[in-house]
Structure 1
Amino acid sequence: MSDLNIKKVYFPNLNGLRFIAALLVIIHHIEQFKKIFGLENIYDQVPFVQIIGKLGVVLFFVLSGFLITYLLLIEEEVTSKIDVKKFYLRRLLRIWPLYYLIVVISFFVLPYISFLEVAPYTKQLFTSYNIKLLLFLFFLPNLALVLFSLVPFASQSWSVGVEEQFYLLWPLLMKNSKNKLRLLLGVILVYFFLNLELQFL
């Protein structure tokens, strides 16, 4: 298998799972925004609607983690190494342009258009504005949302931040690990214990 073929690895049967994940997130956000804008909604009446958005995002994360891990394993099998620099370059070209476009528009354009004001979140954007902007610029939107209020039109990028943080660490761990199964089990155990610890806080 050549390097060209590695880049063309594609699982068409996963499109159905992507559709389900996207549909869950869309339903969740439609009802959530109807609630924010004071429209009739079922966001609070049907707890399932609140849960399906999170489930959809988790499904996206699982698919992304599977595909990235698979590609890294195939690359190592074919070339006997993992080229982390090329991996980073591919992620940069694929994600950064659109991500930074959203950040720029959300921080410097949309908040100044009165028609698009999302009360009270638009005004809250300007509280700790510089810190929020820095966190978004350094791919830490998930941290910004935990520490501060929502950022209108850019809050959805928290999941992109999580993926970028994963992309930053996972190839390095994969490259420097001789036992991939042990690495995977170790990550699962760390996640399990951290999650268990958070439940008791």
Structure 2
Amino acid sequence: MAMDDYDDDMSSVGVTTARIENQHQQHPHQQGQHGHHQQGQGQSQYSAGAVKVGGWRYEDASRYIGEWNQRGQKHGIGHLQFADGTRYDGQFQEGLSQGVGCLWFADGAKYEGEFHQGWFHGNGIFWRADGMKYEGEFRGGKIWGLGLLTFQDFTHGFPRNEGFFQDCRFMRRRRCPEVVQRAQKCALMARSQCEHPY
């Protein structure tokens, strides 16, 4: 079965992906973007005046537990749970997901792999809620690069849906087992990173 035979292709990934940032980028003890303190409650451990590790529950019921930098931004390993049930576990840098991590969406979709400035970016695996899976390269929160598509019935389609994807659309066929292996390795690293003490 070819990708074109499905009414619903992986283009929903572009809609589903969201940059992992929100109004909760800074620690509540720091001034917000609009010059006011964020509302909520939490605990922190301080070292030489800088927050190192802490937890915070925001007014919208989102919560963060993890490491912070001296400017009050999520920085290091952390767990961010949004009010809608979406959850991110992994690395942060200056308030954004950066490095490897796992993102579970409220609808059951998930992503494991590399992030850059809050977006899926690099190598990883994305599963839709219906079980369709893409293993490969991502750019700016979208499927973009070489990869392999696996349908709900665990087939890859006929002819095989492996090759170059652009903006979540399959463009041309090309064997790329090394890219798929790299995506699997990054997903495994992300899963192991998510097993943190928080």
The TM-score with structure 2 as length reference comes to 0.31
- Between structures 1 and 2, the one with greater strand share: 2
Q: Normalised by the size of structure 1, how large is the TM-score? A: 0.31
Higher alpha-carbon Rg: 1
